Amino acid sequence: MDNVLVLVRHGQSEWNKRNLFTGWRDPDLTEQGVEEAHKAGQLLKAQGIVFDVAYTSALHRAQRTLDIILENLGQSDLAVTKDKALNERDYGELSGLNKDEARDQWGADQILLWRRSYDVPPPGGESLKDTAARVLPYYKKFIWPDVKAGKNVIVAAHGNSIRALIMYLEELTAQQILEREVATGVPMVYRLTMHGHVEDYKSLVA
């Protein structure tokens, strides 16, 4: 298989487990998150995919997930590019807060608006639109040229940076992407045409 782009959200992090807004904070994976990363690697190996290039964010949970996946593929020596352009959405003043406590402080409706609107950022943070404004230029400048050249590329990142890519690749509306769930540790395999359109897509689940 070539011209393959695989997107995978990091495995469960310690703050996912504790129901905290994480953003650019840097917690490690939980034991479950490590298991999810191993499973992702095994599922990709079963597909016979060999990667030429790997990209990840500047955050440890995504980097460790990628390392575990590549270990399972026997590709631990693969060149990896790390960049903060692929970081999770910055939750600003919400970062580190328990989601239930945040609802008590700001109200459930306001928290829902910040979490599920496309272009309304939390205080000091980013909206999904803001996140896309840094993710997509990076994709077009660095990742897409590798895929276009016939390389197989894996991107290990975060729920919202991946949502930005999904929205672009699948040509979804702002409302459609907000309804799209991105599970931890589940590889999403895209085969792209030479023009960057999605020719085939599948989500790998055990």
| Catalytic positions | 10, 88
Q: Tell me the C-alpha distance between 61 and 170, whole Å.
A: 26
Q: Tell me the C-alpha distance between 154 and 45, whole Å.
A: 13
54 forms beta bridges with 80, 154
190 forms beta bridges with 5, 201
- Phi and psi for 157 in degrees, rounded to 5? -145, -135
* Buried b / exposed e along 18-39 (16+ C-beta atoms within 10 A): eebbbbbbebebbeebbebbbb
* Strand-pair category, 53-56 with 188-192: unpaired
Contact call for residues 29 and 59 (beta carbons, < 8 A) = no
26 contact partners, CB below 8 Å, separation of at least 6: 59, 60, 61
Contact call for residues 113 and 120 (beta carbons, < 8 A) = yes
